[in-house]
Structures are given as C-alpha cells and as structure tokens.
Amino acid sequence: MSKSKFFANLNGVASPIFLFIVSFLFISGIFTFMPQYVGSAYALLTPRLTRNIPVGSFPFGVAFSPNGNYALVSNSDNDTVSVVSMATKGTVASIKVGSHPTGVAIAPSLTFAYVCNTASGNVSLLNMSTLTKSLNIRTGGSPVNVVFSPDSRYAFVSNIHNNEVDVINTMQNTVIKRIRVGKKPQGIAVSPDGKIIIVANAGGSSVSIINASTLSVIRNIHTGKNPTSVAFSPDSSPVRYIYVSSGKENKIYVYDEKNFALVKKFKTLSDPSSLGLTQDGMMLFVVNYQNMALSIYNAVHFNRIKTISLPAGPINVAVSPDGSVALVTVTSASSAAFIRIKRTTASYASIAPASPVTVGTAATAVTSPVQASSAEPTAPYGYSPAYVPPSNYVAQPFGKVATVYTGKGPTAAAVTPDGRYLYVINTQDATLSVIDIAKAEVVKTVKVGSYPSAVRISPDGHYCFVVNSGTDTVTIISTGNYY
C-alpha cells in the first residue's frame, strides 16, 4: 500500500489533557483593569505558540517522557525518531527505526520506548539510556499507536489493518495476545488505574473497551462517525471522563469512565485528529487537521478557551507532565509546534498591583477605593509578603494544624493582607469560601460565577476578585468585615 493512500485514510493518532487559566477580562461598560497588570501577570498563563522545533520529514507521532525532560517525534517520511530536549528546545538525537513510523510512547519506567512502524509491520524498541534502537518486535499488519500499562509491564498496539490490538509483554518483547476489536482501530489509551484500555475504531462508529486483566473486549460503545483519538481524564482531574474525537462529525464525545454513559458531545473544528489533556484534567487540546488549528477547551465545562492557528497538516498533540507545554506535530513544516501553556518561573513579586477599578459606564464611572497607599503591601492581589504576624503570634512545630472543609473542588486561594482570612474558590459548586485562619472554620460562603478559576484580593484588602472562566466574567466582592 502506498504511503500517500495510507495517510489519506489516517488523519489522527491518540496521544496521552483544566487549563488553570488566570486572565482578568475587559468587560465593556462594567469594569476595566490597567493594561500593564493584565498583560504582565495573566498573559503568562495563556496558551500561545512560541516557536517551531525542527524535526524530521513528515512528523507524525509525539510523546513526552514521564519526567518531561524530552519528547520523541516519529518522522514518517525519513523513518526516524527525533529526540527533543525540553531544556534546549532542540533535537539532540535522531534514531533510525522501521518504515513509516507513526505512534510513539515512552514507558513510565523511562527505560525504553516503542515506535509503531506502519509499513514494515513491526514495533521498534528504543533504549532511552543510549538513545539507540535495540530491536524490532514483529506485530504484522499496520501498527499505528502504542500505549503502556502504568507498571510498564504491557504495551498495547492498535493494528489498523488487522482490526486488532496486539498485547506485548515488555519483559519478553513478544506479542502474547491479539485482541479482536472494531474496524480500523487507531486511537488507543489506558485508564490511569490501568484497569481498562479503550480503542477508537476509525473505520466505524464505535470504541472498544478492553479489560486489562483478562485481555478481552468487555464492551463496544456506539459513538460518532470515524472516531480517531481517545483520552482519559488523569488521576488529578476533578472528573473521570473518556474523551473521543469524531473525525467525520467534527465533534468531541465525552463519556463517564465508570458506567460509560454519554456526558456531553460538543462541536469542534474540522477533522479532530488528536486529543491531549493537562495533568490536572482541566484543559483539553484538540488538533483540527483540516482547519490547520489547535482548539483548546475547558475539559470539565467544555467551553472553548482559545484557537491557535498552525501551518498545514497538524496531526498529533502531546502535553508535558507538568502541564506547561504542548507539542503539536506539523507535517508540512517538518516541525513540532511548541505551545507554551504557562510560565512556571514567573516572578509575581515583580508585577505591579492594579490601579483603581472603574465601575460603570464612561458617563457614570465611579472610582472604587482599591488603591494602595505607601503603607500598603506592593505585591499583586493574593500575595502579601509585607505581612507581619501579630505580636502574640506563637510559632508552631511543623505539621498539620487543622483541616477545613470548603465547597466542592477547591482549586485556588488568596490571603487577606492582614493574614486573618483565607479566600478559597470552589470550582465544582461555583462558590467562594471565606475561612477564619485562627478559628480554622468557614465564616462565609459566597455564590460566584460558573467555573471560578482564580481569586485575588486587592492590596488594601477591601475587595476580592474572582475570575469565572465558565461565564467569562469577574465577580467583585466587598470583603466587609472579613478583612
């Protein structure tokens, strides 16, 4: 089969994706913030394309090492795998493998990686210590994608032309079982607990669920047409979902991991070929092959956060373990697009506090007293390095002082400048909990907007600002007595 015909039918590969987006919004006619504060503080946390890393010809599969130090990119046109250093953002090695490599995965043990060679019908084993190919494992057919069990004991390979999933014992490096699934299995993913494997059958409208203990199909789920990629919510996610991309319907199907019930289906751009999730399970990346774009969604509430335009032929995405970077292989550009999600080394102490908040229209604007005096802390909202403990403060031995129960899904917090109160946002029930630190109890619960994702307190302590990602609003709360 010619390579051009093969890739004409193969538009995506599954890759192993809550953006913790923090961005104050300009809401016309209601309130505004000074541009230097918005630009310097929160633009750092907005996904953006920062560079393109050159790799081999027709880059296809991409995978990060579990420690995030490097990524592997399979180059289908020159039968190599590029090893990309995340420290230098460049290729540090090129490893010759089999014919037309596609899917690639690195074992959680970090000692080896597998590469699917679709044209030669085998899987190459790479030694990650020496960055060399150790051997080829015969699978037959056209292996497309590979994933590992959490303990690295097994590798599961989707074989698109044999309609099978090949199970490889990684100690023996041999195929120990072939599991019959649906037509043209392509995307494949293992649940975080390693109990089930889900396979997207791109030639039909179904996904197959495999029991990892019995190595047998336990259920087939009807889904959208031409499912090409699947992904599980990671362990740290507030939800347990399975995400499936429908290549022909241009939709993402979301299922409950426990009972496989349909939770939601939502529209995306044309030909979603690959899915990726951040490690906190809050941000979903969708590669749209035909639209030459990367769409980014809230993985819990499913609203679109951003679309990033890319050169022709974006095909696969992988997200780094720390959630700071996504790499997208771009076939026409022979590169991996480097998407910065957040800057983990951001120095918040260097960011100037906001100027007064203006409330109302231009004709009726009123300036609120959110303005720092020379006696107030100069750190941004939510940070108070100038705070001095009261004179009666007694240092406690290191250890847990108390456990305070808030609303559902607490995700971010800010302390008042006097150090008396902790403001906690609860993502799942859209509330703000005010905690008296000395008493270790919730003294106030305030309803805010859908999916609150960030909280800040003004330097004078009089106002609290909550960013509501689900409604694109900011809730401004007077702290009143709770300061």
Here the CATH number for the domain that contains residue 392 is: 2.130.10.10
- 212 and 123 belong to one structural domain: yes
Return the H-helix or E-strand segment holding 7.
helix 3-8
> What integer pLDDT is reported at residue 38 of this predicted model?
32
Residue 37, in any domain of the structure: yes
Residue 66, in any domain of the structure: yes
> What integer pLDDT is reported at residue 401 of this predicted model?
63
Q: Which two tokens stand for residue 52?
A: 């393109």
- One digit per residue, the tens of pLDDT, for the chain of length 483 reads 444 445 555 544 333 333 333 232 322 332 333 333 233 333 334 688 888 999 999 999 999 999 899 999 999 999 999 999 998 889 999 999 999 999 999 999 889 999 999 999 999 999 998 999 999 999 978 999 999 999 999 999 999 999 999 999 999 999 999 999 999 999 999 999 999 999 999 998 999 999 999 999 999 999 999 999 999 999 989 999 999 999 999 999 999 999 999 999 999 999 999 999 998 898 999 999 999 999 999 999 999 989 999 999 999 999 999 888 999 999 999 999 999 986 434 333 333 333 333 333 333 333 333 333 333 333 333 333 334 445 555 555 555 567 788 888 787 788 888 888 999 998 888 899 999 888 888 999 999 988 888 888 888 888 888 888 777 788 889 888 887
Q: Count how many domains the chain has.
A: 2
Q: Where are the alpha helices (DSSP H) in 123-182?
A: none
Residue 305, in any domain of the structure: yes
Amino acid occupying residue 11? N
- 184 and 299 belong to one structural domain: yes
Residue 403, in any domain of the structure: yes
| Alpha-carbon span 59 to 460, nearest angstrom | 53
- 333 and 397 belong to one structural domain: no
> What integer pLDDT is reported at residue 380 of this predicted model?
34
Q: Which one of 343, 360, 382 terminates a domain?
A: 343
Residue 181, in any domain of the structure: yes
- 296 and 423 belong to one structural domain: no
The pTM (predicted TM-score) of the whole model is: 0.66
- 33 and 139 belong to one structural domain: yes
Contact status, residue 347 vs residue 80, Cβ threshold 8 Å: no
C-alpha dihedral over 323, 240, 170, 87, to 10 degrees?
0
Instruction: Count CB neighbours of 256 within 10 A.
Output: 13
- 332 and 418 belong to one structural domain: no
| Alpha-carbon span 81 to 63, nearest angstrom | 11
- 135 and 58 belong to one structural domain: yes
- 162 and 233 belong to one structural domain: yes
- 328 and 397 belong to one structural domain: no
- 282 and 418 belong to one structural domain: no
CA dihedral (422, 427, 432, 433) positive or negative: negative
- 385 and 454 belong to one structural domain: yes
Strand segments, DSSP code E, in 129-282 are 132-138, 143-148, 154-159, 164-169, 174-180, 185-190, 196-201, 206-211, 216-222, 227-232, 241-246, 251-256, 262-267, 272-277
- Local structure of 6: helix, strand or coil: helix
- 312 and 454 belong to one structural domain: no
Contacting residues for 362 by C-beta, under 8 A, at least 6 apart: none
Residue 185, in any domain of the structure: yes
Residue 163, in any domain of the structure: yes
| Alpha-carbon span 47 to 418, nearest angstrom | 34
| Alpha-carbon span 42 to 456, nearest angstrom | 12
Q: Which domain holds residue 403?
A: 371-478
Residue 364, in any domain of the structure: no
